[in-house]
Chain A
Amino acid sequence: MSDEIYVPIVKIYTAARQGIPDQAEDLALIGGRLASIVDTLDVQAAKAGEPAALRDALTIAARVHDGIRRGITTLNHAAVALELTGDDYVATDTQARDEFDQWGGALKNVEVTRTAVPGDIGSPEAPGAVTDVTIGFGLHYPTYVTPSDYDPTSPSEDKGDRDETASDDSDDLGLPHDPTDDY
């Protein structure tokens, strides 16, 4: 490894094993909550007829979520890179090895942790929404929420159909035969 690092080994391992994973955990927590909020907003946007502004907002939210996922991935990589650099440092530098041997901290024998990256939330801006409906006893199943009608039939069209029905009904009924015609 060609990298050089001029930091005490304990600092390196502490950052790799705790500092950076903590940041990743913070982001993961936000990501998890954001996913659930986006799920709610996605359903409501579908019910609101999927206005373009709400689809834009969902796109923005999805990008934030994607940013969080990338952030966690990168932080995981950073922690591992730092850990490996530390290992290399201990293996090749006497002072670093001595410092490591004398280190009595709780993190000494801890493996570097990788924070779970929250699942991809896909494209909430796409028409409709899929959400989990809980039916009790811990059971739930995915349900598709259809978008509301943003562009309904105009009143004149409905009125035309209605008047046509009335006219047909009236023709069908007709008037009784006029008896005076026969006189």
Chain B
Amino acid sequence: MTFDYFELSEQFDKIEEKLGHLKGNELAWDYLVAARDQLGGFAAPGDDYMPVNLWLEDCKFPVPGNEVDPTRWFEFTFWVPFDTIRDHPNPEELGAANAQYMKDVAKGALEAWNNGASWASGLASYCRQVSDSFTRANAATICNALEDLHTYVTSDFSVNVLDDPFGIETIRTQWTGKSGTHFNTFYANYDGQVAQMAWASVQVAQTFAAAAHVIHGTQQGVLEFAKSIVKIIDQQLEAWAPYGPPPRDAPEQPAWVADVTKIVTSGWKVLGHVPVVKDVKSQFDAVITAGTDVSNFVKTIADVTGTDLPTLKKTLDAADSDEIYKLLTETLYDDYQQKYVDAMDSLRNGSSIDPDDSGYEPPVNTSDVLGDLPPPWFPREDMPSEESLR
């Protein structure tokens, strides 16, 4: 299954919008509770007060498809002192002030609801930022390039050049003097140099193959995860009864979180290690075979799809937007981005990324490979330049 960045990006947009709605419900609900509590609650402040009860009207939280009408839940009690009523020239005005309060509260609750979107604003961009490192690269493009690397570079290097029909071997041994000596040195080292280049090309392929596996596995996982978060928010929006109140229970369905470490190590074990060869010249065939193994491995990377992946258990403790936000961002950061970084970093330092598997080593250690590279190939001074000969 090819990873579609735009599909993921769309899920992040949905999450921002829906989580904004959920937060809006919570903010508006809290606002209504605060406005009601401000009046002093249901208990009379003293003996000489008369309660005036008014129900909230015309207040709906406009969640598309899951509108919430809290009016049946909110009865407000205005405690008016008897003295005030008795002394007021026109007691009806007192009622008007209370009614105005109710209208202002209904209006304020809607504004509070809209602040949910303001709270969530930029969340999709943040999610894109957190997942930037592992979602932009294309594993299939890398894999195709690695197959080309094997076909057109590694396996195209040829050794035993001295067996050629052009008599270079004879010339090499029968040419004396300065040029002849250079010629001899150059060809004496030729096969070894070419074999080194083939070996180094396999190391490049090995590193990128291991990386492509990490990229692909993480990308598959993150899309499933984002979809599961959208589902969880939808469930919570539905759980808000049409007449309130907020849901108390966390969603039963846990978030779908890929176990990136397990995905990575299981693939890398298949990839194996490129044999460390001290004398690559005599083991040129082994080098090419190692290249073929890498090339075969990259053909299988795309087979790992969402449903095959090992997962982590992540359940929610609460049902509100803050908890879902935490689950979303911390999982994206800790269980995807940081695991991705750990996996990529381990390819450089050779340290294990799986705490459960102490004997496991990543398939490549690029610091060591760089250290093992003989610098530089084919020194220019092996042959005098044309100009120096004329």
Point out residues on A near B: beta carbons under 8 Å: 1-7, 11-12, 14-15, 18-20, 22-23, 26, 29-30, 33-34, 37, 40-41, 44-45, 47-49, 51-54, 56-61, 63-64, 66-68, 70-71, 73-74, 76-78, 80-82, 84-85, 148-150, 152-155, 158-159, 162, 165-166, 169-170, 173, 175-180, 182-183
Instruction: Give which listed residue, A1, A6, A54, A177, contacts B174 with CB less than 8 A.
Output: A6
A34-B34 Cα distance, complex, nearest whole Å: 68
B211-A51 in contact (CB<8A): yes
Q: At the interface, yes or no: B40 with Cβ under 8 Å from chain A?
A: yes
B333-A154 in contact (CB<8A): yes
Known A49-B133, A52-B345, A67-B197; 5 more pairs at CB < 8 Å: A40-B141, A47-B137, A57-B208, A77-B384, A148-B136
Using a CB-CB cutoff of 8 Å, which residues 197-217 of chain B contact chain A? 197, 200-201, 203-204, 207-208, 211, 215
Instruction: Give which listed residue, B132, B166, B330, contacts A19 with CB less than 8 A.
Output: B166
Point out residues on B near A: beta carbons under 8 Å: 23, 27, 31, 34-35, 38-40, 78-81, 84, 94, 97-98, 100-101, 104-105, 108, 111-112, 115, 118-123, 126, 129-130, 132-138, 141-142, 145, 148-149, 152-153, 156-158, 161, 164-168, 170-171, 174-180, 182-183, 186, 193-194, 196-197, 200-201, 203-204, 207-208, 211, 215, 325-326, 329-330, 332-333, 337, 341, 344-345, 347-348, 364, 366-367, 369-370, 373, 375-380, 382-386, 389-390
A178-B101 in contact (CB<8A): yes
B389-A81 in contact (CB<8A): yes
B383-A26 in contact (CB<8A): no
A30-B148 Cα distance, complex, nearest whole Å: 11
Instruction: Give which listed residue, A7, A152, A169, contacts B118 with CB less than 8 A.
Output: A169
Q: How far is the CB of A13 from chain B (nearest CB, A)?
A: 10
Q: How far is the CB of A117 from chain B (nearest CB, A)?
A: 12
B176-A26 in contact (CB<8A): no
B39-A175 in contact (CB<8A): no
A81-B369 Cα distance, complex, nearest whole Å: 35
A166-B129 in contact (CB<8A): no
B104-A51 in contact (CB<8A): no
Subset of 27 A-B contacts with CB under 8 Å? A11-B171, A23-B161, A23-B164, A29-B156, A37-B149, A37-B152, A44-B208, A47-B137, A51-B341, A52-B344, A52-B345, A53-B344, A53-B348, A57-B203, A60-B369, A70-B379, A70-B380, A85-B179, A148-B132, A149-B133, A153-B130, A162-B119, A165-B118, A165-B121, A175-B108, A176-B108, A179-B78
A67-B376 in contact (CB<8A): yes
B111-A53 in contact (CB<8A): no
Contacts of A4 in B (CB 8 A): 175-177, 180
B101-A179 in contact (CB<8A): yes
B136-A180 in contact (CB<8A): no
B166-A5 in contact (CB<8A): no
Contacts of B98 in A (CB 8 A): 179
Contacts of A53 in B (CB 8 A): 207, 211, 344-345, 347-348, 364, 366
Contacts of A64 in B (CB 8 A): 153, 197, 200-201, 204, 377
Q: How far is the CB of A143 from chain B (nearest CB, A)?
A: 14
B130-A178 in contact (CB<8A): no
Contacts of A5 in B (CB 8 A): 171, 174-176, 180
Q: How far is the CB of A10 from chain B (nearest CB, A)?
A: 9
**Given known A148-B136, A180-B80, contact A33–B148 (CB-CB < 8 A):** yes
Interface centre among A44, A48, A177, A179 (most CB of B within 10 A): A48
B126: nearest residue on chain A (CB-CB)? Answer: A158
A63-B78 Cα distance, complex, nearest whole Å: 82
**Given known A56-B348, A56-B370, A176-B101, contact A47–B378 (CB-CB < 8 A):** no
Contacts of B129 in A (CB 8 A): 149, 152-153
Instruction: Give which listed residue, A60, A77, A84, A175, contacts B370 with CB less than 8 A.
Output: A60
**Given known A41-B145, A64-B200, A179-B100, contact A47–B115 (CB-CB < 8 A):** no
**Given known A71-B378, A78-B383, contact A48–B134 (CB-CB < 8 A):** yes
A7-B174 in contact (CB<8A): yes
Contacts of B333 in A (CB 8 A): 152, 154-155
A89-B367 Cα distance, complex, nearest whole Å: 50
Interface centre among A4, A23, A40, A57 (most CB of B within 10 A): A57
Contacts of B377 in A (CB 8 A): 63-64, 66-68, 70-71
A159-B326 Cα distance, complex, nearest whole Å: 8
Contacts of B194 in A (CB 8 A): 71
